[in-house]
C-alpha cells in the first residue's frame, strides 16, 4: 500500500517533450573533456596524472586516500592538456583535468565479474563501487561505497530504490527504467545482498506506466516490489518517499538511516551493475536536454566532462536566445552562467528556456500577504513565511528554531507564493549561515 506525504504541488511537468525519446548512446566522442576532481560530497580527489600524460578511457585520474571520496576516471582516451581550476556547476572554480582526444579508442581492460549476485561478498561490492567512482546519481552525489558501509553499520532494514523523477522536464531515469531495467533490478539485488535486507521496493510515479510495466516484468520472481506512487512533486524527496512507502516519518534533524531506511536512485543501481558485471567505471550518464528554447529535446548518454555547449549542439542548438540555462531541473536545479560547464556524475538535465512560454523570470519580490499557501504546500511541514521574515532580518537563531535545516529546497513554497518572494533563497541563506556558525563553534 502506498501512503502519501503532506503538501506538495502539481507543476506543469512538460515531460512529454522527451518521455518517448530513446537514449542516444552513440554520440561522437568529444574532442576535449574537462573533468572536475570534485564531483561528490566529501574530499576532492588529487590528480593521479600530470600534464602530457596519455590516458585511456576508464583510467583512474583522480583519487584520495583519506576521507570521504569517490575516484574520478578519464571519459575519453587522449592527452592530459591541463590540470587547472575550471568553472563548475556551482559557479566556483575547481581543480579539473582537461583531456584532449587523440582518436585512439584506448580503453582500460578489467575482467568483469560473471558469477551470481549472491556469490559476491558485501566487501567486494563496496570495494568495486568505490573503484568505479559511483556516487548517488539522483542529485546528492554521495559516494555509494560509503553509503553502503554506513547502511550496514546502521543495520538498515528497508531499501527504497527511487525511480520517481518528480522534477518537471527530466526523463533521464524514466528512459533508463524503460531501456535497461535489467541493470536496475540487478543493481537493486546487489544492494539487497550487500546490506543483507529482505525489503527492497522500487518506486515509480504513475505518470510513467511504461517504466512501471517494464520494471515489474523484470523484477518478477526476484522478491523485489515495484510500487506505483501517485504523481506529486516532490515525491522523489527521500523523506517524502519513505513516508509514501513505509508510512513512517523521518523526525526533524534526523536522517533516513535513523529509522532504518536507505534510498538509492535507479541510475545509481544501474551504475553498480555496470561496475560489477561490465567492469565499467562511472564515465557516462544519461542527461535530458530540454526546455522551450531547445530545437530537438533528447535524452543523451553523455561522457563526464562534455561541455553543455556540445550537448545543446547535439540537440540542434537553440530556437532563440535562451534567457535562462538550468541544470538539475526547474524546481531544484541551478541556473548557469556559461555553456562551457562540464557534465558531472549527477547532471541529470540541461534545460534552456526561451523568454516567453510560461517560464518567464519571476518579477521582483513583493510583500507577504499572509495567504498561508507556502505553509500548506511545504512537504517538510515548515513555516516558510516565518523563516523568510527572520532570515531577511539576519535572525538566524530564530530560523534554526523553526527547523530551517530540514528544508529540502524543493521550491514548492516559492512556486505557489503570489507575492513571488524569494523564499528558497532565504532558506538557503539561513541554512548556510547556521552551518557556518555551527562550524565556527
Ligand atoms: S520551506 Fe523548503 S521544504 Fe518547505 S516548501 Fe519551501 S523549499 Fe520546500
Ligand atoms: S505564500 Fe507568499 S504571500 Fe503567502 S504566506 Fe507564504 S510567503 Fe506570504
Asked if residue 202 has its Cβ within 6 Å of ligand 1, the reply is no
Look at residue 209 in the predicted model and tell me its pLDDT: 97
For 317-349, how does the pLDDT look when each residue is reduced to its tens digit (9 = 90+)?
999 999 999 999 999 999 999 999 999 999 999
Looking at all shown ligands, the one closest to residue 416's CA atom is 2
Instruction: Report whether pLDDT(179) > 70.
Output: yes
Looking at all shown ligands, the one closest to residue 373's CA atom is 2
Look at residue 364 in the predicted model and tell me its pLDDT: 57
For 14-39, how does the pLDDT look when each residue is reduced to its tens digit (9 = 90+)?
999 999 999 999 999 999 999 999 99
Instruction: Report whether pLDDT(359) > 50.
Output: no
Residue by residue, what is the 3-state secondary structure of the chain?
CCCCCCCCECCCCCHHHCCCCCCECCCCCCCEEEEECCCCCCCCCEECCCCCCEECECCEEEECCCCCCCCEECCCCEEEEEEEEEECCCCCEEEEEEEEECCCCCECCCCCCCCCHHHCCHHHHHHHHHHCCCECCCCCCCEHHHHHHHHHHCCCCEEEEECCCCCCCCCHHHHHHHHCHHHHHHHHHHHHHHHCCCEEEEEEECCCHHHHHHHHHHHCCCCCEEEEECCCECCCCHHHHHHHHHCCCCCCCCCHHHHCEEEEEHHHHHHHHHHHHCCCCCCEEEEEEECCCECCCEEEEEECCCEHHHHHHHCCCECCCCCEEEECCCCCCEECCCCCCECCCCCCEEEEECCCCCCCCCCCCCCCCCCCHHHHHCCCCCCHHHHHHHHCCCCHHHHHHCCHHHCCCCCHHHHHCCCCCCHHHHHHHHHHHHHHHHHHC
Q: Cell 543483507 maps to which residue?
A: 196
Ligand 2 cavity residues, CB under 6 Å: 368-374, 384-385, 388, 416-419, 421
Burial 113-130 (b: 16+ CB within 10 A, else e): beeebeebeeeebbebbb
Looking at the whole model, is its pTM more than 0.85? yes
Look at residue 336 in the predicted model and tell me its pLDDT: 93
CA distances from 260 to 42, 257, 363 (A): 23, 5, 43
Express as a percent the part of the chain with pLDDT over 70: 97
Asked if residue 416 has its Cβ within 6 Å of ligand 1, the reply is no
8 A C-beta contact, residue 89 and residue 344: yes
Å from CA of 381 to ligand 1 middle: 8
Express as a percent the part of the chain with pLDDT over 90: 86
8 A C-beta contact, residue 138 and residue 214: no
Instruction: Report whether pLDDT(375) > 80.
Output: yes
Closest C-alpha to ligand 2, atom 1: 417
Asked if residue 412 has its Cβ within 6 Å of ligand 1, the reply is yes
For 243-271, how does the pLDDT look when each residue is reduced to its tens digit (9 = 90+)?
999 988 898 888 999 999 999 999 999 99
For 63-115, how does the pLDDT look when each residue is reduced to its tens digit (9 = 90+)?
998 889 999 999 999 999 999 999 998 889 999 999 999 988 777 778 888 89
Looking at all shown ligands, the one closest to residue 421's CA atom is 2
Structural domains for the chain: 1-27+117-361 (3.40.50.11540), 373-440 (no CATH)
Å from CA of 4 to ligand 1 middle: 17
Instruction: Report whether pLDDT(365) > 80.
Output: no
Q: Rg of the chain's alpha carbons, rounded to an integer?
A: 21
Mean pLDDT of 158-186: 97
Looking at all shown ligands, the one closest to residue 422's CA atom is 2
Mean pLDDT of 342-366: 77
Ligand 2, atom nearest to 423 Cα? 7
Look at residue 363 in the predicted model and tell me its pLDDT: 54
Asked if residue 45 has its Cβ within 6 Å of ligand 1, the reply is no
Amino acid at each position: 500500500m502506498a501512503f502519501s506525504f503532506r503538501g506538495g504541488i502539481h507543476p506543469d511537468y512538460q515531460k512529454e517533450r522527451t518521455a518517448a525519446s530513446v537514449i542516444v548512446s552513440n554520440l561522437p566522442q568529444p574532442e576535449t573533456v574537462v573533468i572536475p576532481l570534485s564531483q561528490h560530497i566529501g574530499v576532492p580527489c588529487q590528480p593521479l596524472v600530470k600534464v602530457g600524460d596519455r590516458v585511456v578511457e576508464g583510467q583512474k585520474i583522480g583519487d584520495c586516500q583519506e576521507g570521504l571520496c569517490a575516484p574520478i576516471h578519464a571519459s575519453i582516451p587522449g592527452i592530459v592538456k591541463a590540470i587547472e581550476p575550471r568553472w563548475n556547476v556551482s559557479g566556483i572554480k575547481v581543480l579539473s583535468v582537461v583531456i584532449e582526444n587523440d582518436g585512439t579508442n584506448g580503453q582500460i581492460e578489467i575482467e568483469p565479474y560473471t558469477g551470481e549476485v549472491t556469490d559476491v561478498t558485501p566487501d567486494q561490492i563496496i570495494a568495486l563501487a568505490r573503484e568505479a567512482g559511483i556516487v548517488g546519481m539522483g542529485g546528492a552525489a554521495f559516494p555509494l561505497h560509503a553509503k553502503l558501509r554506513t547502511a550496514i553499520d546502521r543495520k538498515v532494514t528497508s531499501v527504497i530504490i527511487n525511480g520517481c523523477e518528480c522534477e518537471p522536464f527530466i526523463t533521464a531515469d524514466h528512459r533508463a527504467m524503460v531501456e535497461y531495467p535489467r541493470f536496475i533490478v540487478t543493481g537493486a539485488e546487489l544492494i539487497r545482498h550487500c546490506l543483507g535486507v529482505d525489503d527492497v521496493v522500487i518506486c515509480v510515479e504513475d505518470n510513467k506506466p511504461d517504466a512501471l510495466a517494464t520494471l515489474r516484468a523484470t523484477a518478477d520472481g526476484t522478491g523485489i516490489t515495484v510500487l506505483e506512487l501517485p504523481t506529486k512533486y516532490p515525491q522523489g524527496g527521500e523523506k517524502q518517499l519513505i513516508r509514501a512507502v513505509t508510512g513512517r516519518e523521518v523526525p526533524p534533524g534526523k536522517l533516513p538511516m535513523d529509522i532504518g531506511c536507505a534510498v538509492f536512485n535507479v541510475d545509481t543501481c544501474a551504475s553498480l551493475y555496470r561496475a560489477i558485471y561490465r567492469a565499467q567505471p562511472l564515465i557516462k550518464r544519461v542527461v535530458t536536454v530540454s526546455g522551450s528554447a531547445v530545437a530537438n529535446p533528447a535524452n543523451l548518454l553523455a561522457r563526464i566532462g562534455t561541455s553543455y555547449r556540445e550537448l545543446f549542439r547535439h540537440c540542434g542548438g537553440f530556437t532563440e536566445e535562451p534567457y535562462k540555462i538550468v541544470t538539475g531541473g526547474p524546481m531544484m536545479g541551478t541556473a548557469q552562467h556559461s555553456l562551457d560547464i562540464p557534465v558531472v556524475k549527477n547532471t541529470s538535465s540541461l534545460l534552456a528556456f526561451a523568454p516567453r512560454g510560461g517560464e518567464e523570470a519571476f518579477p521582483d519580490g513583493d510583500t507577504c500577504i499572509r495567504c498561508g499557501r507556502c505553509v500548506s504546500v511545504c512537504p517538510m511541514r515548515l513555516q516558510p513565511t516565518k523563516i523568510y521574515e527572520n532570515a531577511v532580518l539576519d535572525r538566524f537563531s530564530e530560523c534554526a528554531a523553526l527547523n530551517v535545516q530540514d528544508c529540502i529546497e524543493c521550491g514548492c513554497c516559492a512556486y505557489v507564493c503570489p507575492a513571488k518572494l524569494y523564499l528558497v533563497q532565504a532558506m538557503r541563506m539561513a541554512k548556510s549561515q547556521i552551518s557556518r556558525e555551527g562550524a565556527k563553534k
